Every structure is written in C-alpha cells, then in structure tokens.
C-alpha cells in the first residue's frame, strides 16, 4: 500500500468456536496479496470483526474480492462489510457505511 488508506471491516456473528473464527482471518490473509492488509481482529459484543486496510483507490476492488471469497465459500456465510467514512482530515473520527449484503441499513462493530 502506498497512499492514504481506508478501513474495511468484515464481520460475522461470534457464535462459532475461536478456531473457526481464526480460520476466517487466515483465509482473508491468504487472499490479500498487494491489494490490502489485514490488521487483526476482535471478538465480543456479539461479533467477530476482521480489520482490513486498503489504499483509498482500491477500496471497491477489496470489497469485490471479499464478496467473491464469500460467494466461493472460502469464508463462511453471514458476512457483513462496512467501510469507514472519515469525518476529519486526520482520520481519527469515522462511522461505517454498510456495503454488504445488499440492503444492509447500518453497520456497527457491536451488535445493538
């Protein structure tokens, strides 16, 4: 990655065992190449989140790649994707724009 990056979060319910959740992260890491970087995960509050960073100009390509992994069965069903919308130039304040699945109205890191 070379420029300014945007955070993308891939999310699943955290009802699976930890080994299964870590396997999701590993499958995404295997697909990253030079397109994006996986920067860890968190588990709790009803969700398992994998944090991904991509150059601003590559965000749409990364979303397409993640959806393809999902559709191909390389990562489990039930994935939600959110992309950070930054409200300041320093990128320290943001909300998430829901991008997948189609019709997703909100995206939050914790279940309400």
Residue 102 has pLDDT above 70, yes or no: yes
Angle at 63 between CA 80 and CA 35, to 5 degrees: 135
Residue 57 has pLDDT above 90, yes or no: yes
Average pLDDT of the chain to the nearest whole number? 91
- CATH number for 5-100: choose from 3.30.70.1710, 2.60.260.20, 3.30.420.40, 3.40.50.2000: 3.30.70.1710
pTM over 0.75: yes
- The ranges assigned to domains in the chain are 5-100
* Model confidence band, residue 2 (pLDDT cutoffs 50, 70, 90): low
């Amino acid at each position: 990655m070379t420029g300014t990056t945007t955070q993308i979060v891939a999310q699943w319910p955290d009802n699976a065992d930890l080994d299964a959740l870590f396997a999701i992260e590993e499958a995404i890491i295997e697909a990253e190449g030079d397109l994006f970087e996986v920067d860890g995960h968190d588990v709790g509050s009803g969700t398992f989140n994998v944090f991904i960073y991509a150059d601003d100009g590559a965000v749409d390509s990364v979303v397409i790649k993640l959806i393809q992994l999902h559709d191909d069965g390389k990562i489990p069903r039930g994935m939600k994707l959110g992309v950070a919308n930054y409200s300041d130039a320093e990128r320290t304040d943001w909300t998430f724009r829901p991008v997948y699945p189609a019709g997703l109205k909100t995206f939050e890191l914790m279940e309400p």
